[in-house]
Amino acid sequence: MLQRKMLRARRDLTIIEGTNAAILLSGVRHSYGPRAVLRDLDLTVRRGEIYALLGGNGAGKSTTLNALLGFIAPSAGAVRICGVDPVTQPAQARALLAYVPESVALYDHLSARENVDYFLALAGAARDRPSVIDPALEAVGLPVHAWDARVSGFSKGMRQKVAIALALARHVPVLLLDEPTSGLDPQATLEFNRLLDTARARDVAVLMVTHDLLSAVDVADRIGFLADGRIDEERTATAGSARFDLNALHARYAQPRAAA
């Protein structure tokens, strides 16, 4: 038993060595009961890279995020956040990542600034919080008049900005985004894309899980298609104005899922 564990650890280590991936999933398997959700998922995201993980419902997007967040322990394979295993060392791993849920829910009775301050305190940023909050709120482009307003009246886009401000204020190398553009109006989507550029400029590794192809095409450096628990296909952006061949991608995305 012990031997097997050690063996597995050595294998994991050899995979990790030689990569500078901020986000790494290698041979990850996971199943809920008899239903296998992830089957040998391999995925890496480097710092300064934006990776869009596309997939339909049930493809395993949420499970991938849960594995990275340490909410589930995969039955096989390795998960690393900057080399840290989120299952065995959840606190260290979480200190390296920021997560923005699909619909950002905040404490409605607090202002934007207070929300960021509260979550920052929870994340353990004890000192000098005000001096990091204001620049972060400015960076995400939240209007100044909204900083001290209760978030109960905020739109989804504004809430998302607050959550990303929190991520920026924490200065973490990894950003996990869950369906960031669903429910955003075109203007907000545009602003969101600009925000990701800011993150990339700060050398953050961004993994966005989405089923919004257009948005992915706009910002991602790489796009992976998740189907049946593994990366089916991966495309990398090319230089120039048309970074991806949208038609080809759409054809690929919309094709009927192969029977397992």
Partner 1 sequence: MSRLSAELRLILRSRMGVGSLLLLLLLSSLAVWSGIAQMERQRETIARVSGEQRRDFAGVAATHGKPDGDAGYAAYYSFLLTHDAPPPLAFAAIGQRDIQPFVLRVRALGLQQQLYDAEAINAELALPGVFDWAFVLVYLAPLIIIALMHDLVTGEREGGRLRLLLSLPGQGLWRRRIGLRYALVLFALAVPFAVGAIVTHAPVAGTAAMLLVAALYLAFWAGCALLVGTAMRASASAAAALIGCWILLTLVVPTLASAAIARAIPAAKGIDLTLAQREIVHHGWDIAKQDTFERFFLNHPEWRGREGFEGRFHWKWLFAMHQVGDEAVARDVAAYRASLIARERWSERVGYLLPGVAAQGALHRIADTDPFGQFAYQDRIAAFHDRLRHFFYPYLFTDRPFTRADFARMPTFAPRLPSGAVPAAPLLALAVVAALLLSAGSRRVARISGADRA
Question: By C-beta, is 58 or 101 nearer to partner 1?
Answer: 101
Q: How far is the CB of 100 from partner 1 (least distance, A)?
A: 8
Distance CA 225, CA 11 (A): 26
Q: How far is the CB of 121 from partner 1 (least distance, A)?
A: 3
Q: Which residues would be at the binding site for partner 1 (CB under 8 A)?
A: 66, 69, 71-72, 91-92, 94-95, 97-101, 103-110, 114, 117-119, 121-124, 126-127, 163, 176
CA-nearest of 162, 155, 56 to 111 is 162
Question: By C-beta, is 92 or 193 nearer to partner 1?
Answer: 92
Question: By C-beta, is 98 or 195 nearer to partner 1?
Answer: 98
Phi, then psi, of 41 in degrees rounded to 5: -85, 125
Q: How far is the CB of 158 from partner 1 (least distance, A)?
A: 15
* Sheet of 21-32, strands arranged across: 35-46, 21-32, 76-81
Question: By C-beta, is 122 or 201 nearer to partner 1?
Answer: 122
Please state, in angstroms and as integers, the Cα–Cα distance from residue 123 to each residue in 1, 92, 126, 196, 199, following that order: 36, 11, 9, 22, 19
Q: How far is the CB of 201 from partner 1 (least distance, A)?
A: 23
Question: By C-beta, is 94 or 222 nearer to partner 1?
Answer: 94
Residue 197 · residue 227 · CB < 8 Å: no
Question: By C-beta, is 104 or 226 nearer to partner 1?
Answer: 104
Question: By C-beta, is 105 or 190 nearer to partner 1?
Answer: 105
Q: How far is the CB of 232 from partner 1 (least distance, A)?
A: 24
Q: How far is the CB of 227 from partner 1 (least distance, A)?
A: 21
Q: How far is the CB of 130 from partner 1 (least distance, A)?
A: 13
**In sequence order, which residues have a C-beta less than 8 Å from that of residue 192 and are 6 or more positions away?**
157, 160, 180, 181, 184, 215
